[in-house]
Each structure stands twice: as C-alpha cells, then as structure tokens.
Structure 1
Amino acid sequence: MTFAQEERRQLAELLRETGPDAPTLCEGWTTKDLVVHLVLRENRPDAAGGMFVPALRERLEKVTADYEAKPFEELVDTWADGAPVWNPMRWADQLVNAAENFVHHEDVRRAREGWVPRELSPSGRRDLWRIATTMSRRMLRDSTSTVVLVRDDGAATTPVDRAASGAGTVTVTGDPGELVLWLFGREQANVEIDGDPSGVVHLTI
C-alpha cells in the first residue's frame, strides 16, 4: 500500500468516526465540507477547475451544492474507493494525492482537542520529504526571502532559493510531515523558524 493509499484509508476511517459536523483546520469547513471537496476533486474535474478558473466558478458552485445534498456516509465511501477508473488521478494516485491526503488527514486530526503528532513510518517520512523538496519552490514562489528546509533528524537540508536582492534567509526545521504542513500554511505545524518570516509567502491552494 502506498503512502497516499494509507492516508486515504486512515482519513476515511477518521471521517466515519467524527461524522459530518466536526471542525477542520480549513477555515469555515466542517468534515462534510472537506469530503465534498475531496469527492468533487476526483470525480468532477470539469467542475474542480473552478477552484482556479473564474469562468468555471458557477459550475463549481452548482456541483458542490449537488454533492452537499448527498449523505455524508455515501460521500466518504465514494472518496475511500478512489478516483474513477477513467480519471488519470487513479493511476497517478501517489503523485497527485499523497500530499492532499496527508494534509487533509491532519486537518481533521489537529482540529480535535488533545491531538498529538503521529509517529510516521520511515517510508512515509521519505515520501513527505520528497514532497517538501519538490513542492517547496511552487508553494513559496512569492516569497522574498531565501527559505531553507531542514529535517529535524539532520538527514537532509534543501534551499528554496527565492531571495530578492538583500533579502534575508529563513531556516525552517522539522519532521518532514511538519514541513509539508508548514508549506501548506498550517499554523499548527510543529516547526522551528530561525529568521524573519515576514518575507515568506505561502501559496494558497
């Protein structure tokens, strides 16, 4: 089972446990809103484009309303089964969904009282470090500071060179999973930041 598949399995179980009205770290979203987003993203790419293309916004709103009318359990089961066979996302699941599934899993976990960081497998941490290093330039592309990501086990370091002339350097240290959450703008990420973070801009996706 890939990391993306395992995160999907665990998140589906957690959603069934929490029900549709639990909070998430996604501002204004309950768990029902989150699973609607997850199902729509994989099953209606014609509407999902409205997240980024204003001309498709009306279609996105209509399809979202259609999914919101469906029972929560049905939506969770649909998402747990993965993308339809006709959708290339099913065959590129690890590539396109590993970060999505992990971050949204933590969005539900960390909105609950008493949460603690998970102990991830070595292979999961490797996958998350790969995600952090490959996505960091995109996620921080509007930053004016140089950002350096450092694993807290000292295993690796990667610079995200987005410095303007004279800009400072910000070093962010943490477990690979925490670095991914920080890149996605989650304030609950357990990271240490050395330097002035005012020049760091996270891409909102």
Structure 2
Amino acid sequence: MSIASRERRALADLLLERGPDAPTLCEGWTTKDLAVHLVVREYRPDAAAGMVVPRLAGHLDEVSRQVAARGYADAVRLFRAGPPRWSPMALLDPVVNLAENIIHHEDVRRAGAAGSGGEGSGVDAVPPRDLPQRTRDAVWRVVRLAAPVFLSTADARVTLRRADPGRGPATRTAGRSGAADTVTVSGDAVELLLWLYGRDGAAQVVVDGPVERATRTAI
C-alpha cells in the first residue's frame, strides 16, 4: 500500500470516528463538508474546477449538494475507495493526494485545539502524530516541490528548515530572490507542510524573521 493510500485510510477512519458534525481547521467547514469536498475533487473534476474558476462555482455548489444528499457515510466510503482510474487525481495520487490527506487529517485532529496566537499554538493539546520516517521523507519531498509555488508572492527570502528527529537538518529556500528580508521557518516535515498550506495556528514551527512578509499563495 502506498503512503498516500495509508494516509487516505487513516483520514477515512478519523472522519468516521468524529462523525459528520465535528469541527475542522477549514474555516466554516464541518467534517461532513470536508468529506464532500474530498469526494468532489476526486470523482467530479468538472465540478472541482469551480474551486479555482469563479464562473463554475455554481456548478460546484450543486454537485456538492448532490454528494451531501447521499449521506456522510457514503461520502467517506467513496473517499476511502480512492479516485477512479479515469480521474486526474489518480495520476497525481502519490504527491497531490499525499499532501491533501495529511493536511486534512490534521485539520480534523487539531480542530478546536489550534489557538489564534500564531505559530505553535495548540502544541500541548494535540501532539504531532508519530509517523514513519518514510512518510516524513515523502512529505519533505512534497514541501520541496511546493515551496516555490506557495511562496511565489512572498516579499522575503524564505528558508524552510527541516528538523525531524533522527534526521539531520535540511533546507529549502524560496520566495523573492534578492529580498532584503529573510525568514526561516523550522520544524519537522509535516509541520512545515501545514505552515506552507496556511495552517499557521496549528503548525508547530519556529519562525525567525518578519513572518508577515512570508505570504503564501492559496491554490
């Protein structure tokens, strides 16, 4: 079983454990909303396009209502099964869905514990999962690939410094080349992934420098 598939199964189990009305770190979404989102992006690419194309937003809303009407358990079942072979997400599963599944797992795990005090909030309430080294290495590869995209609007040179237990430090630098300001964000691979994807209140990282200049692009 691939790492992405294991994380998919873990997220599906957690969604069933928490039920349809639990909070998530996705603003305004319950676990039911999240489950519907996960199904639509993998099974209905025609509707998922509405996540980035405003004129298709109405179609996205309608398809989401249809998926929601089938019930929470059915949505989780479809998500657990994975994208059909014809879905673009099936080809992107090892990278895109690995990040998606890990991030949304933490969206559910840490909801309600992440404070508003910035980086590192909620540390005591929800400790990081003890993931295999192979999984953390795969996440770090995603971070390295994603950093130039997500930090393309940063008004600083941003260095992501990996500090996993049992691994020597590794870095990935992105952002505006030649910028006067520099920002260093340190943490293990999963925490850096969460920070890169905008989960500032939940990511357990240490930031050195003017973090307000390390803007990230939402995609």
TM-score range normalised by the length of the shorter chain: over 0.9
- Equivalence for 1:198: 212
Task: State TM-score, norm by structure 2.
Answer: 0.89
Task: Tell me the secondary structure at the aligned position of residue 188 of structure 1.
Answer: coil
How many residue pairs get matched? 204
Distance of 2:11 and 2:128 partners within structure 1: 15
Question: Match for 2:208: what amino acid?
Answer: D
RMSD: 1.3
Q: Which residue of the other structure, out of 124, 149, 157, is the alignment partner of 2:160?
A: 149
- Between the aligned residues of both structures, percent identity stands at 49
Counting only pairs closer than 5 Å after superposition, residues 37-56 of structure 1 correspond to structure 2 as 37-56=37-56
Asked whether the 8 Å contact 2:42–2:89 carries over to 1, the reply is: yes
Give 1:161 shift. Answer: 3.8
- Equivalence for 1:181: 194
Task: Write out per-residue CA displacement over residues 25-59 of structure 1, whole angstroms, 9 at most, x where no aligned residue.
Answer: 00000000000000000000001000111121111
Listed as ranges, the gaps of 5+ residues in structure 2 are 114-124
- Equivalence for 2:57: 57
Question: Match for 1:194: what amino acid?
Answer: D
Q: Which residue of the other structure, out of 133, 137, 141, is the alignment partner of 1:122?
A: 133
Does 2:107 correspond to 1:107? Answer: yes
- Equivalence for 1:131: 142
Asked whether the 8 Å contact 1:144–1:164 carries over to 2, the reply is: no
Task: Write out per-residue CA displacement over residues 120-170 of structure 1, whole angstroms, 9 at most, x where no aligned residue.
Answer: 1110111011011110111111111000011114431121142464x3000
Distance of 2:111 and 2:54 partners within structure 1: 30
Distance of 1:91 and 1:202 partners within structure 2: 26
Listed as ranges, the gaps of 5+ residues in structure 1 are none
Asked whether the 8 Å contact 2:197–2:218 carries over to 1, the reply is: yes
Asked whether the 8 Å contact 1:24–1:108 carries over to 2, the reply is: yes
- Equivalence for 2:181: 168
Question: Match for 1:49: what amino acid?
Answer: A
